[in-house]
A and B are shown apart, each in its own frame.
Chain A
């Protein structure tokens, strides 16, 4: 997966999972996201790239309404998940976040056991009827996050005792335990060493089979390695969005080219 063979990537027969229309985000007086339109496909890894402060993380946090927790943040425009506006008044962000999971920049396992970390989501959402079912969910999630083999003997040890890469994969297991349809990842490898990064990247590619993954990354190489589609953000604008191969080899916009070649950023 670490080769630059993105042109071969399978881009056909995809359905739109998330559609953003004229999204604007304001932090108090500052205009953080300007008129962004984007369509994110199911079973695809979409990468958001761009220089620091370009709004890619802000936009990502709009998709599961994590920005609601920030008092001064205001969002206009529509973001549709399976055709339903997630900013509709009737939508409960809690229910939304069960379907759109999130993995954060810094691994943030709860100060609980590994098992309880993964079981947390299923428990609050009531996804299991009994202990056996919960055990099953935990095991399945840990397996999917490619960490089962490492932790199966110490499920009741604290999650904070794992190494950084393991912690991040635990957080991914925790996120997929609630069976989301979309997985948002905010620079999931920025706090990890290269080996752990490789493991997580490999995992992301496997997750594509079941989820629509959106990943924000600082590293262009990472975007090229893991994503099928790439969106380039600059100063709050979505400059260019298209198949990853095209963005990296033949960008339409001169700003994208400048960024790819390292002149800005």
Chain B
């Protein structure tokens, strides 16, 4: 210690050594630690929620990418399918799917008997392990290959959703007590067939590329057609929102005089960005469908609605990108005799392009995941069963969209559809993550520091 002696004015704390913490300091420091802990806890809660969400999605959704199939040999009996034996396609077409059911029943019976499996089930219940889709699949095959009638062909049918659920652990012997769709005996048979390799679970490409199915056949439902619906909507959004958004931003940022009209437009855009998406749905319903009579459920209408919704986002990010280009660039262009318009289009716009692109991709990602407005313009509530064949059809014929399809599945009663919904979310998230990654890479790659 030095020989420093405190003056009468010296405060109480000064008498204490720095090396020992006063009681008050200890108290204050523990308050500090508590406060910091709250912060860490808050971050922790956020991250845990993210983790829970992601694990839930993947835990419940990955099942959708696998599907249970049953492989059996079906004898295409001529007596059932083509009584005249003339192979006349019109005659064959006259046989409805009901006519095919006996073939499948006997095929299952033969398969079970050949494997030497003991069961008390009737052939009807054996065939019940197959999806209701199986008869349609069989009929489609026969119509395409009428010459095969009379032969025995190996088919790979979808198993019905309860069997699929049993293999995936979703359905257990306890859970089916009151289930009319499946019985414990049938599950015994499933166990035996699995052991024999007749039933197996494999990767299910149809979930990604296929069409939705009615609510009796969750095992056959796929995302493919609604993915196309989303694709066409995004096409419309990109084709409209990007040029209009960039044009509006250029005007507001580069040409607009500072007056009240410009102010009104700016405040308007800021507020439009925060208008609830469902309001855009009401607008779309009232204007595009009710007034302009554009077709219901068409991706064109969905795209128009989403365009209006995305525009403010794109305008805001484009303006930020334009603002980031330093005035010296504009001065340089004007200095060599370019017109204002030329300086903007030749110099400012190309320099702002990466930023504009990033904003556009983020806006598109937002539009891709949006559901609420699609509810009102009828993109939910029917089965998108046929893929469009031309661009015009893709834009105008009714379709669903990925998020709408997920909502549709979530509404259905059969829990097998829930797995589909989670799986659909995985597909949707893969798109969103890809788009956002591209945006981030673009930003990193082309980011300029002026």
Residue of B7, B10, B11, B22 with most chain A CB atoms under a 10 A cut-off: B11
- Residues on B with beta carbons closer than 8 Å to the beta carbon of A124: 28
In the complex, per-residue mask of A68-102: 1 if CB is within 8 Å of any chain B CB, else 0: 00000000000001111010101110111011000
Contacts of A179 on B, CB cut-off 8 Å?
Answer: 9-11, 13-14
Chain B min CB distance to A254 (Å): 34
Name the B residues within 8 Å of A15 (CB-CB): 2-4
| Residues of A close to B4: CB separation below 8 A | 15, 17, 42, 82
Nearest CB of chain A from residue B26's CB, rounded to whole Å: 9
- Residues of chain B from 3 to 20 with CB closer than 8 A to chain A in the complex: 3-4, 7, 9-14, 16-20
- Is the CB of A210 closer than 8 A to any CB of chain B? yes
B9 close to A92 (CB less than 8 A): no
Q: Mark A109-145, 1 if CB is under 8 A from B, else 0.
A: 0000000000000001111000000000000000000
B2–A82 CB distance below 8 A: yes
Interface extent on B, as a size class?
Answer: 20 to 34
Inter-chain contacts of A197 with B (CB < 8 A): none
The smallest C-beta distance from A197 to any residue of chain B, in angstroms, reads 27
The 0/1 profile, CB within 8 Å of A marked 1, for residues 351-384 of chain B is 0000000000000000000000000000000000
**Which residue of chain B has the shortest Cβ distance to A181 in the bound complex?**
B14
Q: In the complex, A95→B24 CA distance in Å? A: 10
B202: Cβ under 8 A from any A Cβ: no
Please report the C-alpha to C-alpha distance between residue A88 and residue B20 in the assembled complex, in whole angstroms: 11
Residues on A with C-beta less than 8 A from B16 are 95
Q: Write out, one digit per residue, whether chain A residues 3-45 have a CB within 8 A of any chain B CB (1) or not (0).
A: 0000000000001110000000000000000000000001000
CB-based A-B contact count at 8 angstroms: 61
Place the interface of chain A in its size category.
Answer: 20 to 34
Q: Tell whether B290 is near chain A: CB-to-CB under 8 Å.
A: no
Main secondary structure of the interface of A (DSSP, over half): loop
Given contacts A99-B14, A179-B10, A210-B9, is CB(A94)–CB(B28) below 8 Å? yes
Contacts of A88 in B (CB 8 A): 18-19
> Is B389 interfacial (CB-CB < 8 Å)?
no
Contact between chains at A210 and B29 (CB < 8 Å): no
Contact with B18, one of A84, A127, A178, A210 (Cβ below 8 angstroms): A84
Pair A84/B19 contact, Cβ less than 8 Å: yes
In the complex, what residue of chain A is closest to B7 when comparing beta carbons? Answer: A210
**Which of A16, A84, A92, A99 is in CB contact (< 8 Å) with B21?**
A92
User: Considering only CB atoms, which chain A residue lies closest to B21 in the complex?
Assistant: A92
* B1 on interface, CB distance cutoff 8 Å: yes
| Residue with the highest number of chain A CB atoms closer than 10 Å, among B4, B13, B18, B25 | B18
14 contacts between A and B (CB under 8 A): A81-B18, A82-B18, A84-B17, A88-B18, A91-B18, A91-B19, A95-B16, A95-B18, A95-B25, A99-B13, A125-B13, A179-B11, A179-B14, A210-B9
Q: Kindly list the 8 A-B residue pairs having the minimum CB-CB distance in the complex, ordered from nearest.
A: A179-B11, A84-B18, A90-B19, A83-B1, A91-B18, A83-B2, A95-B25, A126-B24
